[in-house]
Amino acid sequence: MTAQAASLADARPETQVPLEAKVRFLSDAAAYPGLRAPVAAHETHMSWIFLAGQRAYKLKKPVRLPYLDFSTLALREAACRAELRLNRRLARDVYLGVEPLMRGPGGLSIGGDGETVDWLVVMRRLDEADVLETRLKNHVRPAELDRLAATLARFYRHASPTWISPAAHLRGWELALAYDRRILLDPRLGLPRGQVRWIDAVLRRFLKAEGGRLIERVRRRRIVDAHGDLRPEHVWMNATIRIIDCLEFSPILRANDPLEEIAFLDLECERLGAPAAGRRLRERVLFALGERVDDPLYAFYRCHRAMLRARLAIAHRLEAHPRTPEKWPRLARAYLDFAQADALKLARRLTRP
């Protein structure tokens, strides 16, 4: 399809093909010429992913949420192209392109002739044995962690700084803590309210007493266009380190201090039973970036991320039809325990003379 034809197509009313019909088509091996193996389809909160031979195809759901809008064809195309561009920063050879899902006289097809009814991000399929989440549960060598640390340090050194006023930055933190607090204290969700209130009080006390540290990070241009969701399940360890699935839909959520992103990765390593791996990554990345390993901001960031993950986990219980509903309270409580451990460190600092 030419650029002019695509523009004319966007100008016409959007063709409505039900999501179920698209998923059914893309789940069929016949959709992929030459494919002889079955297709594995995986649903996430925002997308469907189809593993077809050596390729993976991602279809974004037509959803509108408080932090993203995929509700129209044009918005989904823009999101697919942003995903391609931004994820190539850390996984250039994985993100291969964006393809239209077409409807023609013979029905749906990937590419070809007809009318564009959706867009797909096309990726090279990776070996599940190489994902860091799996490697942490088995064995990951120190040298591999050091290569990951070097990759991350290089990425953060070259990431574009994100400008925000110091006052707006502090206000953003206040709002973020308040939002986590409101959800975590919802009586319908059954979390330990005393624990939530105590952790939240420590975070707010630290923000009031040590807010100047956050302002200094802004002034030193340490807030950058980062990854936004740096978890072990997005890191692939092989001859080449590849990190996928950045938050392409929200520059606000990607605007992070590298200290915060590494604190989150450290937290997730510990949650998966590999605290030594998290500590090694922290030490290597922060040393390479010229940061202090014992910076109290690190514990603040880690504590906040644990509260954020607890909130995201338990909020699934508020959905009309949550998947695996028994999983979320258990996961939220685990994150609250990690947050409490980091809040104790912050509390000790706040009580020093």
What's residue 323's pLDDT?
Answer: 73
Residue-wise pLDDT tens digits, 136-182: 988 899 999 999 999 999 999 999 999 999 999 999 999 999 999 99
Residue-wise pLDDT tens digits, 50-63: 999 999 999 999 99
Instruction: Give CA–CA dist 37/268, Å, rounded.
Output: 34
Pick the CATH number of 132-350 from 3.40.1010.10, 3.40.640.10, 3.90.1200.10, 3.40.50.300: 3.90.1200.10
Neighbour count for residue 249 (Cβ, 10 Å): 22
- The least confident of 69-83, 266-280, 318-332 is 318-332
Q: How far is CA 150 from CA 145, 193, 272, in A?
A: 9, 40, 22
What six digits make up the tokens of 235? 């890191």
Sequence-distant (6+) residues with CB within 8 A of 307 are 177, 180, 184, 199, 200, 203, 335, 336, 339
Instruction: Give CA–CA dist 42/76, Å, rounded.
Output: 19
What's residue 325's pLDDT?
Answer: 79
Residue ranges of domains in the chain: 3-125, 132-350
Instruction: Give CA–CA dist 211/172, Å, rounded.
Output: 12
Instruction: Give CA–CA dist 82/248, Å, rounded.
Output: 6
Neighbour count for residue 168 (Cβ, 10 Å): 10
CB 314 within 8 A of CB 183: yes
161 DSSP β-pair partners: 224
Instruction: Give CA–CA dist 215/226, Å, rounded.
Output: 18
For range 307-321, the mean pLDDT: 91
**H-state helical runs in the chain:** 3-11, 19-26, 73-87, 132-137, 142-158, 166-184, 193-219, 251-254, 258-271, 275-288, 296-314, 327-350
Q: How far is CA 148 from CA 83, 248, 276, 283, in A?
A: 22, 21, 15, 12
Confidence (pTM): 0.90
Instruction: Give CA–CA dist 98/41, Å, rounded.
Output: 18
Instruction: Give CA–CA dist 252/233, Å, rounded.
Output: 22
Crossing angle of helices 258-271/275-288, nearest 10°?
A: 160
Instruction: Give CA–CA dist 81/14, Å, rounded.
Output: 19
Neighbour count for residue 205 (Cβ, 10 Å): 15
Stated length of the chain: 353
What's residue 353's pLDDT?
Answer: 60
Q: pLDDT tier at 14 (50, 70, 90 boundaries)?
A: low
For range 298-324, the mean pLDDT: 91
Q: What percent of the chain has pLDDT over 90?
A: 85
DSSP structure string for 44-57? -SSEEEEEETTEEE
The DSSP code for 33 is T
pLDDT at 320 over 80: no
What six digits make up the tokens of 188? 């319908």
Pairing mode of beta strands 68-69, 95-104: unpaired
Average pLDDT, the chain: 93
Residue-wise pLDDT tens digits, 206-225: 999 999 999 999 999 999 99
